Amino acid sequence: METMGTIAAPLLAGFAFASIGVILSTQHTLRWADQALVLVVGAVLLFVTSLQATFNARRHYVPPDQWAAWLGLAPTAARRGELQRRWSADLGVYRRWIEVARVTYNLAIVALLAATAVLLVPRGHVAPWRAAAVALATLGALGELAWVLTAQLARRRTRVEVRLEGSGTGWAPRAPQLRPSGDPGVEDGSPEPGAGGPR
């Protein structure tokens, strides 16, 4: 997800931004130049939003191995509990920002494909091969939109819990495990996540 937000999104945003100048310089040959501009500008804004959301998400994320090392250095049980609650709360914020980044990136791809379909429509007669290109771009946009909606619905049906597993009565933490709710490997007596943790 971070690669998507820090590499793919900026690259595609730059491409979309550059295409605005191309559209403006060739708009006399396009049937729907203004509509294409709206879609391209929308794609640029969505890509930038995805980038910003990814940066905000990274501010609230500590890798599990690093977090476990910090927890092992905590001098008291009270401090360990405080760190646990903070990490759990920050992980919830991280997941929300990553969800924003994912949705805006996917919608930007849809807008970019739709803009491509609009740009391919010339003034006047549409030749068969040009019509085939327009149809392919349109199918791509619709397929991407269907993919986004299907993935979004699937994520809503799959909840994820964070359970912090220690050994014995003292704290000898291992890396936190992400497991889907209802996983038979999670014991009934396992502790609940800290206050504010993602569910």
Phi (first) and psi of residue 85, to 5 degrees: -65, -40
The secondary structure element, H or E, covering residue 76 is none
Residue 10 burial class via C-beta count within 10 angstroms: exposed 0-12, middle 13-18, buried 19 and up: middle
* Confidence at residue 81, expressed as pLDDT on a 0 to 100 scale: 76
Q: Supply the Cα-derived Rg of the chain in whole angstroms.
A: 23
- The answer, yes or no, to whether residue 192 has pLDDT greater than 50, is no
Whether pLDDT at 154 is above 50: yes
| Spans of all domains in the chain | 2-158
Residue type, 103: V
| pLDDT confidence of residue 69 | 75
In this predicted structure, which of 13-22, 59-68, 144-153 has the lowest mean pLDDT? Answer: 59-68
* Residue 94: closest CA among 178, 18, 25: 178
